[in-house]
Amino acid sequence: MSVRKLKPITPAQRFRVVNGFDAITTDKPEKSLLAPKKKSGGRNNQGKMTMRYIGGGHKKRYRIIDFKRDRKDVSAEVKTIEYDPNRTAFIALVQYTDGEKRYIIAQNGLKVGQTVVSGEQVAPEIGNAMPLSNIPLGTIISCVELRPGQGAVMARSAGAFAQLMARDGKYATIKLPSGETRMVMANCLATIGAISNSDHQLLVSGKAGRGRWLGRRPRTRPVVMNPVDHPMGGGEGKSSGGHPRSRKGIPAKGYRTRSKTKASNRYIIERRKK
């Protein structure tokens, strides 16, 4: 992974930092694994705006990703590492021995020609998916299931990883990217290795127009709104608007909104850091 700083031949390029894309091996996606992706512009089925600051953006097609890794004990060869416009991580096209092709989230260090496999008695190597019960303690993992058979839901974005800390009975303890330590059933699948494109956090867009290309419309600061529109609105001149809070009045910094009676609280050993 690498990043490139562009020469400042325009004002927008002066601070721009782009991805080197040296891990990418092709710019042509697998047609059989593409699906249409419709834009909503933040509107619901009645045409009413329910999410603000969404609209426009470049047209995309969705890449169908195999989050379940449910082809057990069948090896697959990595054919390409590709860019995916729908996520921060890179994806890998793998082909099984019977010819079936699937996309998976690419782990850091995954190379073309490498073999990956999913199953219970497989080696804990980069890109292999296996139950938490069979992974050595202390291993860096990603694409972790929350419930058996659900498919990967945790540690899926660029550079993210979790760590398997302990096992006790039918539960495994993992430390998540947020800093939260929680118990997950030991028969949930996880993939060995951290997610690719770890330099994503170093990118700088350079201009507001790039946000528009990604489908993000300009965001109005609450402090410049009227009192009818936001708790932080109103006042003469540049008044600070009191404590930072949401449109519904919920404090923004450090206020805990998680329900004290939520059923999954008993699985959380240590809360995420503030």
What's the pLDDT at 241?
65
Query: Does 102 lie in the same domain as 61?
Result: yes
Residue 169 lies in a domain: yes
What's the pLDDT at 186?
96
Distance CA 217, CA 182 (A): 36
Edge-to-edge strands of the sheet including 129-131?
Answer: 129-131, 189-192, 140-142, 162-168, 171-175, 181-185, 268-270
**pTM attached to this predicted model:** 0.92
Residue 84 lies in a domain: yes
Query: Does 31 lie in the same domain as 163?
Result: yes
Query: Does 268 lie in the same domain as 173?
Result: no
pLDDT single digits (tens) 43-72:
999 999 999 999 999 999 999 999 999 999
Query: Does 187 lie in the same domain as 99?
Result: yes
Query: Does 13 lie in the same domain as 142?
Result: yes
What's the pLDDT at 128?
97
Residue 214 lies in a domain: no
Residue 212 lies in a domain: no
Look-up of token digits 């991805």 = 19
Indicate the length of the chain as a whole number.
Answer: 274
User: Could you give the number of structural domains in the chain?
Assistant: 2
* pLDDT for 273 beyond 90: no
Structure tokens at 147: 């419930």
Query: Does 175 lie in the same domain as 95?
Result: yes
Query: Does 96 lie in the same domain as 138?
Result: yes
Query: Does 154 lie in the same domain as 255?
Result: no
Query: Does 176 lie in the same domain as 73?
Result: yes
Given 201, 232, 260, the domain boundary residue is: 201
pLDDT single digits (tens) 103-149:
999 999 999 999 999 999 999 999 999 999 999 999 999 999 999 99
Q: What's 137's domain CATH number?
A: 2.40.50.140
One-letter identity of residue 5:
K
Distance CA 162, CA 214 (A): 28
What's the pLDDT at 242?
81
Residue 207 lies in a domain: no
Query: Does 239 lie in the same domain as 193?
Result: no
DSSP type of residue 64: -
Residue 72 lies in a domain: yes
Distance CA 161, CA 163 (A): 7
Residue 41 lies in a domain: yes
What is the distance between the terminal CA atoms of the chain, rounded to a whole angstrom? Answer: 29
Which domain does 274 fall in, by range? 220-274
Residue 208 lies in a domain: no
pLDDT single digits (tens) 158-214:
999 999 999 999 999 999 999 999 999 999 999 999 999 999 999 999 999 999 999
CB 126 within 8 A of CB 140: no
pLDDT single digits (tens) 14-30:
999 999 999 999 999 99
Distance CA 138, CA 163 (A): 6
Distance CA 15, CA 6 (A): 8
Q: φ and ψ at 202, to 5 degrees?
A: -90, -10
Query: Does 109 lie in the same domain as 58?
Result: yes
* pLDDT for 1 beyond 90: no
Given 201, 234, 259, the domain boundary residue is: 201
Mapping DSSP to helix (H, G, I), strand (E, B) and coil, where does residue 13 land? helix
Beta-bridged to residue 96, according to DSSP, are: 76
Read off the pLDDT band of 89 (50, 70, 90): very high
What's the pLDDT at 192?
98
pLDDT single digits (tens) 136-163:
999 999 999 999 999 999 999 999 999 9
Q: What's 232's domain CATH number?
A: 4.10.950.10
Query: Does 85 lie in the same domain as 57?
Result: yes
Mapping DSSP to helix (H, G, I), strand (E, B) and coil, where does residue 38 land? coil
